[in-house]
Structure 1
Amino acid sequence: METQNSLPIALVTGASRGLGAAMAEALAKTHHVVAVARTTGALEDLDDRIQAAGGQATLAPMDVTNVGAMAQLCRSIHDRWGAIATWVHAAVHAAPLTPVAHLSEGDWSKSVACNVTATGILIPFIAPLLGTSGQAIFFDDPHAGEKFYAAYGATKAAQIALARSWQAETAQTGPRVHILTPHPMPTATRARFHPGEDRETLALPRDEAARLLAELI
């Protein structure tokens, strides 16, 4: 579970921006972070910030919907470190808000693939790496059934349903499964969902990362 410098391993899927990046930076104070995201440049920027703060990261530029790539990553983590201490799952596809009757096939397919199918595949991949002592962290964003939130609300709710089942199944045995609800943050996704909103009133991702991690202590 530890690096040669005796740091536990934290896997962050969806680490390139927003809360995922903030969680990766916060965890890098005490963990070696394996950061997964599609955008190589954003991962490199994250790595620069982590290194500037004295932390360590391994970058894994890949799409969580690529089953073969994620399987190989988990195998590589096992071969190199044996296990992980923490998995933070922040990867999400946020389709544009639209009436259900106008929902495009592409947006629906991408939402299901990233938010539901990938989660259902990743849990069996990552559970053995967490063992009984690790912890997994998911983020709820309850919009299911709200107007215009069809793709995002439905698939995010399905993702959290998977996490809740896993949480119930492992309550006595581990790993610990946490489902956290962040405060609204000035992310790019929220800017698309709520254009014109006063962003000064929103919580900064780094502050939310610190608050949410403090809840787990």
Structure 2
Amino acid sequence: MELGIEGKTALVTGAAGGLGAAIAEALAAQGVVVAVADIRLDLAGSVAGRIRAMGHRAFGVAMDVTDASSVDGAFQEIEDQAGSPDILINNAGFTRDNRIGKMPESDWDAVVDVVLKGAYLCTKRALPAMVAREWGRIVSISSRAHLGNPGQANYSAAKAGLLGFTRAMALENGRFGITANAIAPGIIDTAAVRQLPHYERIVENAKATLPIRRIGCPQDISDAVSFLASERASYITGEVLHVTGGRY
């Protein structure tokens, strides 16, 4: 299917590995120029180099999504190299799990700031150029955890907040040809998940209980992102797409 985004510029945050890297690769394969952004510039540069080795266009950029000056500096660099992003993927996020009674305030702040403040700062910075050209795609990576997970109050709250943020952006900016959607992945077979001590139990549980009897793979998410970022999804906005194998 022709997605109609060849030649567009995309910014993918938290793209030094995992889902972010897979999303960056998928968009680049569609002919998009991809800014691979992460607080770890060396790893972002490695992902961008791998994409270029495949014959596509990408470059790494350093960005701390919780710091407005860092976000602005990264956007300036992207604009200098490839023009203002047409597509913004708010992917940056991580977990620091604990029961609420044992959760340090710093762990609450760290997770919520990266997921929610990061999406706010990046979207705010990306919107003026999108409005001016009357075209834009904002896709935020939420999680099935938005429904609530024990031991993940910070992560669940942040990912649920992304859904409200997404719907607000859809309502505010639809008249400018800008769509805003979210994807809620289930358990995905990333390096971080494979390092969990109970990884094998996760895989066996997925095979035994999910309607689609397997754990998800990064391409399941990157394919969904590519569609929502495309011309084919121009009448879809304010939605959350669960990519979970049927797990709710």
1:101-180 equivalences under 5 Å are 101-131=101-131, 132-144=134-146, 145-180=148-183
What's the counterpart of residue 66 of structure 1? 67
Amino acid at match of 1:103: M
Secondary structure at 2:24 match in 1:
helix
Secondary structure at 2:19 match in 1:
helix
Stretch of structure 1 that moved more, 32-41 or 179-188: 179-188
List per-residue Cα deviations over 1:37-89 (Å, max 9, x = no partner): 12233223312320121011121123211221111222333455442221111
Aligned residues of 1:182 and 1:212 also touching (Cα < 8 A): no
What's the counterpart of residue 89 of structure 1? 90
Distance 1:194 1:64 in 2: 31
Shift of 1:34: 0.7
Distance 2:198 2:168 in 1: 31
Structure 2, unaligned runs of 5 or more: 1-5, 208-213, 233-248
Cα 1:214–1:126 change in 2 (3 A) is closer
What's the counterpart of residue 210 of structure 1? 223
Residue correspondences, number? 211
> What is the aligned-residue identity percentage?
24
Shift of 1:194: 5.9
Distance 2:187 2:9 in 1: 28
Shift of 1:18: 1.4
Distance 2:92 2:40 in 1: 12
What's the counterpart of residue 3 of structure 1? none
Distance 2:188 2:24 in 1: 16
What's the counterpart of residue 48 of structure 1? 49
What's the counterpart of residue 36 of structure 2? 35
Secondary structure at 1:115 match in 2:
helix
Secondary structure at 2:12 match in 1:
strand
Shift of 1:28: 1.0
Distance 1:41 1:77 in 2: 17
Amino acid at match of 1:210: D
Distance 2:197 2:166 in 1: 24
List per-residue Cα deviations over 1:92-145 (Å, max 9, x = no partner): 13112x211111122111012211222222221111132321111112213244
Amino acid at match of 1:209: S
Aligned residues of 2:75 and 2:84 also touching (Cα < 8 A): no
Aligned residues of 1:78 and 1:129 also touching (Cα < 8 A): no
Distance 2:224 2:79 in 1: 30
Distance 1:93 1:150 in 2: 13
Shift of 1:182: 3.0
Cα 1:62–1:74 change in 2 (3 A) is closer
Amino acid at match of 2:158: T
What is the TM-score of this pair, normalised by structure 1? 0.85
The root-mean-square deviation of aligned C-alpha atoms, in Å, is 2.4
What is the TM-score of this pair, normalised by structure 2? 0.76
Amino acid at match of 1:134: G
